[in-house]
Amino acid sequence: MNMFRGFWAVIYKEMIQVRRDPSTRFVFLIPLFQMIIFGYAIDMDVQHIATVVCDMDQSVESRLIVAQMANTRTFDITGEVASERDIRRQIVAGTAKVGIIIPGDYGAKLLRGEQATVQVLVDGSDSSVANNAVQTSRGVGMLQSLQRAGVSGQLLPVDVRQRVLFNPDLISANFYVPALVGIILQIVTVFLTAFAIVRERERGTLEQLSVTPVSRSALILGKLVPYAIIGMIQTIFVLLLMRCLFGVVIEGDVFLLLALSVLFLLPALAMGILISTIAFNQAEAMQMGMLIMLPSILLSGFAFPRETMPLPIYALSFGIPVTYYVQILRGIILRGAGLWALWPQTLALAGFAVVLVVASSVRFQKRIG
């Protein structure tokens, strides 16, 4: 018997159905929305923190340090208050997240060459805001001290200049958006494929197909190929969105990126088929899809750095295909990495592709019970 009997017939039929399916337009709307929502909402650069100042000194020195704080753009000076109690009240009310207190003897102490203290109160209830405020204010303090220690006008003895490679402005969009491409691609392909097959089971057409001599592999591949093509069109669409909406430039080889994207689509599509062999209806398929989505978003390194995860979770993250694809995306897009640098990830994806495609073809039966 021909192993691929009916392959072209299934592809052709699937194409007609995709074209007629009103939900096809969501295939492009969903990534657009996801890109906008995720891309803009997960902006981890904390800037413009509402800050109030209690300047009890009102000297040249005190105004200088407030100006320096404001210049970092981390702090937005939203008002002046008279006492520490006012600061606390504003922080509790949520109208300010940081309060800067400059004691009355600040300028005088500095002039005398003594140690002067500036107190910074930070609202710890939002950890990333708090971290940023603490870091920045410490930096400003250091800068002031060094400048004073080096005597006015004289150059600092040690001039430390950091240069950040690959993402010079440390824009978090550059970090999140390439990875977002992988997450979006996985969401769409897993659900599309799972639904495409579960729908056939729900409507009884799978039963009709099962009494024909169509081969299992033709049926599976005939389903995979059209959705892989849709997935590729989507990849390109999402990459264009990344370029146009967020200005993220692809440093590396675009064709390598597309080729490895195909490699990632295989395990993603196979997961869709696996779901469809377990789920009886679209609602169940939806729930199982979610079950796969959550670890993919949380553990793949897309949202949180994997290096900081507890060991068991870190180990688990190796079992998620999108983990490797996220590394590939960041590698090629941000660092301009070539295949020689990404071969471990490439091999891992190839492994997942083989295992999942085989597993899904074994589970997929031309029987209904």
Question: Which parts of this chain interact with other proteins (CB under 8 A)?
Answer: 1, 5-6, 8-10, 12-13, 16-17, 20-21, 203-205, 207-214, 366-369
Q: Which is nearer to other proteins, 312 or 369 (CB)?
A: 369
Cβ 227 to other proteins shortest distance, Å: 16
Cα(79)–Cα(55) distance, integer angstroms: 11
Q: Which is nearer to other proteins, 224 or 328 (CB)?
A: 224
- For β-strands 98-102 and 119-122, DSSP reports them as antiparallel
Cβ 263 to other proteins shortest distance, Å: 30
Cα(88)–Cα(94) distance, integer angstroms: 10
Q: Which is nearer to other proteins, 227 or 246 (CB)?
A: 227
Q: Which is nearer to other proteins, 109 or 216 (CB)?
A: 216
Cβ 26 to other proteins shortest distance, Å: 16
Task: Enumerate long-range contacts of 299-308, CB under 8 Å, 24 or more apart.
Answer: 299/323, 300/179, 300/182, 300/183, 300/326, 301/179, 301/326, 301/327, 302/176, 302/179, 302/180, 302/182, 302/183, 302/326, 303/42
Cβ 211 to other proteins shortest distance, Å: 4
Q: Which is nearer to other proteins, 138 or 363 (CB)?
A: 363
How far is residue 201 CA from its own chain's centroid?
35
SS3 content of the chain, % helix, strand, coil (to 5): 65, 5, 25
Cβ 363 to other proteins shortest distance, Å: 16
Cβ 210 to other proteins shortest distance, Å: 6
Task: Enumerate long-range contacts of 163-172, CB under 8 Å, 24 or more apart.
Answer: 166/251, 166/334, 166/335, 167/334, 170/45, 171/45, 172/42, 172/43, 172/44, 172/45
Q: Which is nearer to other proteins, 23 or 135 (CB)?
A: 23
